[in-house]
Structure 1
């Protein structure tokens, strides 16, 4: 099915959220994977809690707070790595298939965009680092509405800007909770299940499940 717009979540979908710690794995030590997982989990938890409280802080602030919590939890990782890890997070690696997939969609005449919890500055840095500027038409950040996914106002950023019905948008995310929110909003959703995780949110299932973006 051809869609008018292909909209992508950023972190975990286009960009590898664990690449920052992996770059410094040797210095971080044997617990680097646990450290990275806690960092990511807390980053998301803080976004949901703040949305429910109505106490918005941008995603970069939450990323810093989650990192500090991770240092407190995983004592084997030296806190002197803080600056290097934050620098690495600004320039996360994209997944290998991303450039070719986005170029292919653009060649088919589709609009290509990002819809992310990330702050505009974070997203611009990540896009530039992977040289994706020429294949991404628009970057939509929750900063415009001051609430995080899965609030309907976030997904509405796309339909308002593009003057499209939700079903004309194909939304891709590796985060199953994000897919559930986008499905509830009315997008055609594709879950990029990179880690072969079990399904959840059965009442808001994706239109398609793929192991990577390659089959789009």
Structure 2
């Protein structure tokens, strides 16, 4: 196989890209009723905010702890007094969240076409491996690279460099695949290419000077988008 024919390495963000973080909605609906979606959105926003703040402060805790503290904040924000058992159930949901419908067929096709696939996450390696296995998509990945291994969070440029080292790839030959704009801009700023997965029609990408290399609405469109970019 010539160098030109070698498929690039793909680094897949996990939470929100492969795995649907709103998989907690069923549990939330039984606990908070019609506030479930707002609660879920606020929880996710604070989870990410806490990881950003921890990264900037260089005051690392595992992503699971950011998730737990964000849950506590969200309960206080909505003045909802969940029991310790209810909070435990919600945190347990984060260990077994479902994959989006397009994920399994897309990963299967990409793997068959010769791409090297890695899961690349702020989550701990154990948590990510459990998620991927539960969603029945673990078999598609060559490995899992976690920010926990160097005690930082995306979009710290250090984590993208660490990914390249762990995957034995180069920035010019590596794509980040993410639905999170902060992750896309972080990867491109670090020298990688990046595909933004625009999972909702109303999603807005940050109006920065850094924009996605490609945009797809469905992971099953990724291969054709990557090919067009190369061409």
TM > 0.5 fold call: yes
Residues in 2 aligned to 1:55 and 1:16: alpha-carbon distance in whole angstroms? 27
* Structure having the larger proportion of residues in helix: 2
- Which one of the candidate residues 72, 75, 91 is aligned to 2:76? 72
TM-score normalized by the length of structure 1 = 0.94
SS in 1 for 2:220: coil
Q: Tell me the CA shift for residue 2 of structure 1.
A: 6.6
SS in 2 for 1:90: coil
Residues in 1 aligned to 2:168 and 2:91: alpha-carbon distance in whole angstroms? 36
Structure 1 residue runs of 5 or longer lacking an equivalent are: none
Alpha-carbon distance change, 206 to 135 in structure 1, aligned in 2, over 3 angstroms: same
1:83-122 paired onto structure 2 within 5 Å: 83-122=88-127
Name the counterpart of 2:25: 21
- Which one of the candidate residues 192, 202, 205 is aligned to 1:199? 205
CA contact under 8 A between 1:28 and 1:77: conserved in structure 2? Answer: no
Q: Which string of whole-angstrom CA distances, capped at 9 and with x for unpartnered residues, describes residues 1-29 of structure 1?
A: 97421110000000011111334413321
Residues in 1 aligned to 2:23 and 2:150: alpha-carbon distance in whole angstroms? 28
SS in 1 for 2:138: coil
Name the counterpart of 2:41: 37
CA contact under 8 A between 2:7 and 2:114: conserved in structure 1? Answer: no
- Which one of the candidate residues 121, 128, 146 is aligned to 1:123? 128
- Which one of the candidate residues 147, 166, 171 is aligned to 1:166? 171
Alpha-carbon distance change, 13 to 95 in structure 1, aligned in 2, over 3 angstroms: same
Alpha-carbon distance change, 60 to 120 in structure 1, aligned in 2, over 3 angstroms: same
Q: Which structure 1 residue ranges, 4+ long, deviate > 4 Å from structure 2?
A: none
* Structure whose CA Rg is larger: 2
Name the counterpart of 2:191: 186
CA contact under 8 A between 2:132 and 2:138: conserved in structure 1? Answer: yes
Higher mean displacement: 15-24 or 80-89:
15-24
Structure 2 residue runs of 5 or longer lacking an equivalent are: 223-231
- CA RMSD for the aligned pairs? 1.6
CA contact under 8 A between 1:3 and 1:170: conserved in structure 2? Answer: no
TM-score normalized by the length of structure 2 = 0.88
